[in-house]
Structure 1
Amino acid sequence: MPSMQPLTLLRDSRALATLAVPLVLTQLAQVALTTTDTVMMGLLGTQALAAGGLAIVVFNQLRTMGVGLVTSVGNRIAAAAARAERAEAKDTDAVAGDEEVVRIVRASMAVATLAGLVGAVLMVLIGQALTWLGQDAAVADRAQTVLLALAPGLLPCLWFQAIRQFTVGMRRPQALLQITIASVAVNAGLNWLLIHGTWGLPELGLPGIGVATSTVYLLSFLALYLSAKRDTVLAPLLSLNVLKADRATVRELVRLGIPIAATYGSEAGFFSVTALMAGSFGSAALAAHTAVNQLVYIVFQVAVGLSHAASINVSRELALGRPDAARRIKNTALACAAAVMAVVAVVYATLPDLVLRPFLDADAAGDDKAVTIATQLLFVIAFLQFFDCAQNIGVGLLRGLDDTKSGFRITLIGYWLVGLPAAWLLGYAAGLDTLGIWLGLLVGLATTAVLLLRRYGIGLRARSLAQEPVAAG
């Protein structure tokens, strides 16, 4: 029997990769989308980059929390689809399962619409309040124009996310990657055309980047919707009539989504505070912190893809009454994460100059100190990224149990009660500066990962015991 374990792991890894790989690549393509905007802003000058970067920070914070509100949709749909599949296999009525999927899709679009409208209004209000928040008046004025252009794009952005969760929950996410990659190219072209007023289009300058991004979100939503409508499995279940949304289902999605949105916001805030701490040690320390943080963010997209795939598969296996398979999913996801992070760690250890070169130039005046600091940090993040990946997988696994509140509570403990004090003690009290801050981050993420995975084990055992009488019957 032990000799079968590697074969089981290989089989489970392939099943997980079928869903995870398109999601990972989609996440990386989305990073390329925001990177394109940042590069275009930089071409317009330092003030434009500062203003545009400020607008993107505000937009991303609201977008991330809006995405959190609809993230549980994939889990609910996966479970409903599995129940319909199980009913069909037993020659019983599977229509109820299909109707449940339709209800969830409508409710998700209603939640996305509400979140998009509220977020757009908040974006405009924050833009008007930037000077009150201590920002330079000239920068704040330019950032406000970008926010006005980005605000309409939040609605189709969240619509896209709702349909994305639908396709992922139905285990048919293949179109996501092609659409996201195409959106990067379209975004770059529209940015250039609207900034400079090429081909008879108005010359909008910096706000043109916001208009281009909003347009791309709308086109991406339409492309994904049309792709789903051409899919014979997805088309009958895809209903966008929010006026027919079931209120109880909407309330359920909001109940599950609010802790996820809060978790996303908490994590973003945790890393923002540590950036401020790094900045207190000087510009070289902040530059090194920023470069390394971007590396972590890029590699983190692997964690996001694995987390979503594991989460969807847990929901599906539990709906099919297979808790043992749900238990294996945790081990498979962590094994895949460990394999990827080990490769990344080897690259960090053997090619530090190459890894840091896109962000810092060791030969440039003033960058040599930042490169030295960043090189030290690479050895920390080589270990940190495994725990960062593990904690994100843990959040996804709990989401598969429909337990989003525990994930939020545990991340508050790990980030704010353990990680932040550890970063302060090691960075300031122990005198390790930026290195100490990242060691504190490592401690916080490791604590969070251990607590989340432990909670998943407890929750899964409880679900298994609850399902035993049903299985016996």
Structure 2
Amino acid sequence: MSAPAALMPLAGPKPATWPDEMRALVALAAPLVGGNLLQMAIYSVDVLFVAHLGQVAFASATLGVYLYSLFMWALSGMVGAAAALIAAELGRRRHAVREVRRSFRMAMWLCVMAGIPAMLLLWHGEWLFTLARQDPRVAAEGGRFLRVLFVAMVPALVSTVMRQTVAALGKPGYAMLVNGVALGLSLLANWALVFGHLGLPALGLIGSALASVITSIAIMIAYVAILLRDRRIRRYRLLGRWWRSDWERLGELVRLGVPIALTLIFEAGLFGGAGFLMGLIGVTEVAAHAVALNLASFTFQVAMGVGQAATIRVGMAFGAQDREWVARAGWTALVLGTGFMGLTALVMASVPRPFIGIYLDLADPANARAIALAVQFLILAAAFQLFDGAQAVAAGILRGLQDTRVPMLFALASYWIVGFGVAVWLGFGAGWNGVGIWIGLLAGLVVASGALVSRWTMRGRLNLMARTI
């Protein structure tokens, strides 16, 4: 039985022309990009408030967020594999309602099954930081920070599945709405808990972690309300019979999602590893690195949103087994994502100091060295914007084709053999310190983007359209 017309997703019919595809992609990607930017703003709120507590607290929160984000983004990729399955099911138009519900339910199970072990590891954050030879003060404070923040893991993963499912079912705008409200809540919670307003005690660094937990739980509750109340979405009865197992579908999610999770671990691990390498040089280098990376991460949210939309668009075309539609959806996403990142690279390289001033007081002499380092790092970040955008979108396109295993191997080689190797060699062997580490990041992204785009280009010869998990 085909899905009723009222249940068809936003990306529904095949576009007749390239401009039609661009309009469909932008309509899907824009709310996802907006939601991603607001989500990034929520994370940055924590950093901005903690920055006023001193460099040790700032470095502790930065490393704590790195470790939390490494687990969260990787597991989000794994459970987010449901988006590719849902898109393909909608593209096939066969038993869409039942199949969408199966994928969603098992993805929610996977959130809990994978999230709990991650939480246990985060509980031992201080030990991990000490093992990585971080400053003892930073390791201790970062460990305390994570023993509060770890509670947000499962709610954040559950929200990821609900957000991507809602987008695939034609309501991507909810991502902006929910995250917009969550940003306001995060600002209020940080203001009240970090500095002690509204009659609450000043909890400092711990207050920021607690604010993140409150915000994550609120986002999850908001999406549950959407699933229950939206007229189009509630017809899928996504929360019905949540206790019913479906081991076959869970296995499909794991086989498709684990390579995605490992890919994101390799990628995020390179950037997190760069933070740890900075910690071996000094606290000031960590602070400067955090500022530059936060700014670069904002622009990356656009490429990531386009990649998420591309997974849905290409996934639907893959489900329909329409090669022309697959090509049109993939190339449109690559042009849009890399084009935007090229523009942001020009802006970032031209006027870096005003952006750095968002995080650090440019007039304070105590910040002079951190600002100088941040300028250097941000110029290098501008240089790899184009490659970062290309790899993010290309990875999303290939996930739409349910091709995840070889891209995982590309990520391992690109980020950890090339990227990390160059970072260590130039940063410590050649004595280039932080600049050498950032050149390593650039090298990893150049290789990764070239490999992924080449694989997409050769999809016909590699017979990727015939691939299923």
Global fold match (TM > 0.5): yes
Instruction: Quote the residue 1:172 is aligned against.
Output: 171
Is the CA contact (8 Å cut-off) linking 2:311 and 2:398 kept in structure 1? yes
- Structure 1 residues 423-468: Cα deviation after superposition (integer angstroms, max 9, x where no partner): 455556666654444344333212211111122233355557749x
- The whole-number CA distance in structure 2 between the counterparts of 1:352 and 1:293 is 13
Instruction: Quote the residue 2:222 is aligned against.
Output: 223
Instruction: Quote the residue 1:326 is aligned against.
Output: 326
> Which moved further from structure 2: 333-342 or 273-282?
273-282
Instruction: Quote the residue 1:27 is aligned against.
Output: 36
Q: How many residues align?
A: 451
> Which moved further from structure 2: 8-17 or 21-30?
8-17
SS in 2 for 1:234: helix
CA change 1:50–1:278 in 2 (3 A) is closer
Instruction: Quote the residue 1:147 is aligned against.
Output: 146
Instruction: Quote the residue 1:56 is aligned against.
Output: 65
Is the CA contact (8 Å cut-off) linking 1:124 and 1:147 kept in structure 2? yes
Q: CA deviation at 1:211?
A: 2.8
CA change 1:26–1:285 in 2 (3 A) is same
Q: CA deviation at 1:253?
A: 0.8
Q: CA deviation at 1:363?
A: 5.1
- The 5 Å alignment of 1:37-436 reads 37-84=46-93, 94=94, 96-127=95-126, 134=133, 140=139, 142-195=141-194, 199=198, 204-240=203-239, 241-277=241-277, 288-359=288-359, 364-365=364-365, 371=371, 374-375=374-375, 377-424=377-424, 434-436=434-436
Q: Which amino acid aligns with 2:396?
A: G
Is the CA contact (8 Å cut-off) linking 1:38 and 1:53 kept in structure 2? yes
Q: CA deviation at 1:388?
A: 0.8
CA change 1:277–1:133 in 2 (3 A) is closer
CA change 1:56–1:347 in 2 (3 A) is closer
Q: CA deviation at 1:205?
A: 4.9
SS in 2 for 1:192: helix
CA change 1:463–1:98 in 2 (3 A) is farther
SS in 1 for 2:243: helix
- Structure 1 residues 212-254: Cα deviation after superposition (integer angstroms, max 9, x where no partner): 3222211111111211322222112243344203111111111
> Which moved further from structure 2: 414-423 or 244-253?
414-423
- Structure 1 residues 264-285: Cα deviation after superposition (integer angstroms, max 9, x where no partner): 1111221233345556677776
- The whole-number CA distance in structure 2 between the counterparts of 1:118 and 1:136 is 26
> Which moved further from structure 2: 228-237 or 194-203?
194-203
- The whole-number CA distance in structure 1 between the counterparts of 2:139 and 2:430 is 38
Is the CA contact (8 Å cut-off) linking 1:106 and 1:242 kept in structure 2? yes
Q: Which amino acid aligns with 2:151?
A: P
Is the CA contact (8 Å cut-off) linking 2:134 and 2:279 kept in structure 1? no
SS in 2 for 1:294: helix
Q: Which amino acid aligns with 2:108?
A: M
Q: CA deviation at 1:153?
A: 2.1
CA change 1:9–1:62 in 2 (3 A) is same
- The whole-number CA distance in structure 1 between the counterparts of 2:305 and 2:288 is 27
- The whole-number CA distance in structure 1 between the counterparts of 2:209 and 2:362 is 34
Q: Which amino acid aligns with 1:14?
A: R
- The whole-number CA distance in structure 2 between the counterparts of 1:428 and 1:133 is 16
Q: Which amino acid aligns with 2:302?
A: V
Is the CA contact (8 Å cut-off) linking 2:193 and 2:203 kept in structure 1? yes
Query: CA RMSD of the aligned region, Å?
Result: 3.1
Instruction: Quote the residue 1:12 is aligned against.
Output: 21
- Structure 1 residues 122-159: Cα deviation after superposition (integer angstroms, max 9, x where no partner): 22233566556655666555544433322332221111
Q: CA deviation at 1:320?
A: 1.7
SS in 1 for 2:124: helix
Is the CA contact (8 Å cut-off) linking 1:193 and 1:199 kept in structure 2? yes
Question: Structure 2: which 5+ residue stretches go unaligned?
Answer: 1-15
Is the CA contact (8 Å cut-off) linking 1:69 and 1:260 kept in structure 2? yes
Question: Structure 1: which 5+ residue stretches go unaligned?
Answer: 1-6, 85-93, 468-473
Q: Which amino acid aligns with 2:272?
A: S
Instruction: Quote the residue 2:6 is aligned against.
Output: none
SS in 2 for 1:243: coil
Instruction: Quote the residue 1:89 is aligned against.
Output: none
Q: Which amino acid aligns with 2:212?
A: T
Q: CA deviation at 1:258?
A: 1.3
Q: CA deviation at 1:262?
A: 1.2
Normalised by the length of structure 1, the TM-score is 0.84
Instruction: Quote the residue 2:10 is aligned against.
Output: none
Is the CA contact (8 Å cut-off) linking 1:327 and 1:460 kept in structure 2? no
CA change 1:21–1:430 in 2 (3 A) is same
Is the CA contact (8 Å cut-off) linking 2:152 and 2:212 kept in structure 1? yes
- Structure 1 residues 170-208: Cα deviation after superposition (integer angstroms, max 9, x where no partner): 232111111101111112222333446655656655433
Is the CA contact (8 Å cut-off) linking 2:134 and 2:276 kept in structure 1? no
Instruction: Quote the residue 1:88 is aligned against.
Output: none
Q: CA deviation at 1:38?
A: 2.0
SS in 2 for 1:119: helix
Is the CA contact (8 Å cut-off) linking 2:51 and 2:359 kept in structure 1? no
- The whole-number CA distance in structure 1 between the counterparts of 2:457 and 2:367 is 46
SS in 2 for 1:237: coil
- The whole-number CA distance in structure 2 between the counterparts of 1:198 and 1:356 is 28
CA change 1:416–1:363 in 2 (3 A) is same
Is the CA contact (8 Å cut-off) linking 1:314 and 1:400 kept in structure 2? yes
- The whole-number CA distance in structure 2 between the counterparts of 1:464 and 1:116 is 31
Structure of greater Rg = 1
CA change 1:354–1:72 in 2 (3 A) is same
Normalised by the length of structure 2, the TM-score is 0.85
Q: Which amino acid aligns with 2:307?
A: S
SS in 2 for 1:244: coil
Seq. identity, % = 31
- The whole-number CA distance in structure 2 between the counterparts of 1:205 and 1:427 is 33
Is the CA contact (8 Å cut-off) linking 1:103 and 1:249 kept in structure 2? yes
- The whole-number CA distance in structure 2 between the counterparts of 1:432 and 1:140 is 25
- Structure 1 residues 63-116: Cα deviation after superposition (integer angstroms, max 9, x where no partner): 1222122121111111112222xxxxxxxxx5x221111111110110011122
